[in-house]
Amino acid sequence: MRLIVGLGNPGAEYAHNRHNIGFMAVDAIARRHDFSAWRSRNQGLAAEGEIGGVRVMLLKPQTYMNNSGACVGPTARFFKIAPADVVVLHDELDLAPGKVRVKVGGGAAGHNGLRSIAEQFSTDTVRVRLGIGHPGDKDRVYGHVLSDFAKAEQAWLAPLLDALAEAAPLLAAGKDNEFMTRVALLTQPPRPKKEKPGAAAPGKGDN
């Protein structure tokens, strides 16, 4: 079994925050792949299903971001899921909006959810970093992550969530590089149409 965790804060007031993109991602995966209803488990909400033939549990910790490990650790240990089979989707300030990178292990880089998981479970989980961009000033970071996505950001956010859900079988199979490549291809903006050879520009007298 693989455990795919989306990080965020519980409650309607946080639902559309940039910090909650991890919740949004696992919700999109659950919808696309017909997972079970969300149920309470170890201070979180869990849903079960299969993605590409791989048994998967999706998890949304309800402990608030700073204590995510209190949910992830007990859940992984109960199901005997190794750190290498735990995938954590989270917001990433140091990536441009809509960019996705996957890495294994490493430091928390100031992310309190990752820090909590490292302290209460392991540093060796798979991290799916979902770019939300940096506000440009460290004093504005707190407000940036705890603010809702702007309306204009839906232009990249909705396609990204769709792409993450579509490419999820690669993530479930542990094909991290192929997953990143697939998401990048699915979220590429459409290329401008080339003008047909011989097509003349309309003249002044043309309607």
Residue with tokens 């519980």: 10
Tokens of 188: 């590429």
Out of 16, 19, 90, 134, which one is annotated catalytic? 19
| pLDDT at position 15 | 97
Say whether 19 is catalytic. Answer: yes
Q: Angle at the Cα of 53 (from 49 to 59), degrees rounded to 5? A: 30
Q: Is 7 left (phi over 0), alpha (psi -120 to 50) or beta?
A: beta
Is the domain 2-186 a CATH 3.40.50.1470 member?
A: yes
Question: Model pTM greater than 0.95?
Answer: no
State CA 83 to chain mean position distance.
18
- Quick: pLDDT tens for 127-179: 999 999 999 999 999 999 999 999 999 999 999 999 999 999 999 999 999 99
Tokens of 104: 């294994």
| pLDDT at position 207 | 52
Alpha carbons 18 and 166: distance in angstroms, whole number: 21
